[in-house]
Amino acid sequence: MSAQGKSVTLRTLSRMKAENSKIAMVTAYDYPSAKLAEAGGADLLLVGDSLGMVVLGYDSTVPVTLEDMVHHTKAVTRGSQRALVVADLPFLTAHLDREEVLKAAGRLMQEGGARAVKVEGCDAVLPGIRACVAAGIPVMGHIGLTPQAVHQLGGYRIQGKDAETARQLLEEARRLEEAGVFALVLECVPDEVASRITHSLSIPTIGIGAGGNCDGQVLVYHDLLQYGSEIQPSFVKPYAQIGEMAVQGIRTYVKEVREGSFPGEEHTFRAPAVMDHLYGGERKKD
């Protein structure tokens, strides 16, 4: 089990898989979400390109740029001391030639401060993954439902529901392990398929909508806290209602401002002597 106060490393994750100790990953997109997720005990913080949907208001992850990812990764790493911070390579980046992939991954680590990057897909991105691993950049893989390819997939659909596609996912997982990824996200695949993949690999699997047999789980910060997220995937379990609390708090504030009860005496600073100077002494004659 990862210990509080000790930095999580790739060796930590390998040990956790070997000891059958579950890994907890949470997305984070800024300084406060990183601090809160880490204080809650998360082993990994994923600066996901899902920020495009839950932070920037896009309808998919496709519009997210490398500049967006560097900017948000910087904020997350400033708020993290212990967790392993992983940053997504955004749309198309991993499909560029190896030099461009290395530059992009290098920026996320050198400028953003991430300690690893995540890459969606398999065959088309294997050259870039191998280049990163050879250069000393840790890479997390991601197969199943890959949001960057949502238009090609025809929507957010479960993957690997039949024997052929399930076998394909298993082969992709093995190829990614051979390419050197240190962990693998399995998104929206049947429990049986995720279990088979997990037991076939020596690296940890992190599930999201992939059942309970993966080595760990990941959820989007805004989904698990119900914080400004209108998307309700069936695999998400809300653990708090931050959005409702925030709306109620703001509603109360607006009400008090309009009725004049805020700020009250206890929230108002007083400096009577200053007024004497501002009024040039005339205030004393009032």
Q: May I ask the CATH architecture of the domain 10-240?
A: Alpha-Beta Barrel (3.20)
Residues of the chain with CATH 3.20.20.60: 10-240
Q: Say which residues have a Cβ less than 8 Å from residue 57's Cβ, sequence separation at least 6.
A: none
The amino acid occupying position 78 is R
Q: Is 285 annotated as a binding residue?
A: no
Q: What is the pLDDT of residues 49-94, one digit of tens each?
A: 999 999 999 999 999 999 999 999 999 999 999 999 999 999 999 9
Calculate the dihedral angle through the C-alpha atoms of 135, 187, 111, 104, rounding to the nearest 10 degrees: 50
Q: What is the pLDDT of residues 109-163, one digit of tens each?
A: 999 999 999 999 999 999 999 999 999 999 999 999 988 877 676 666 888 999 9
Q: Is 202 annotated as a binding residue?
A: no
Q: Is 22 annotated as a binding residue?
A: no
What share of the chain has pLDDT > 70, as a percent?
94
Indicate which residues carry an active-site annotation. 187
Q: Is 195 annotated as a binding residue?
A: no
Read off the tokens for 172: 């992709």
Read off the tokens for 161: 């529901």
> Rounded to an integer, what distance in angstroms lies between the CA atom of residue 130 and that of residue 101?
10
- Predicted confidence band of residue 3 (pLDDT cuts 50, 70, 90): very low
The pTM is what? 0.92
Transcribe 53-122 into DSSP letters: HHTS--SSSTT--HHHHHHHHHHHHHT-SSSEEEEE--TTGGGS-HHHHHHHHHHHHHTT--SEEEEEBS
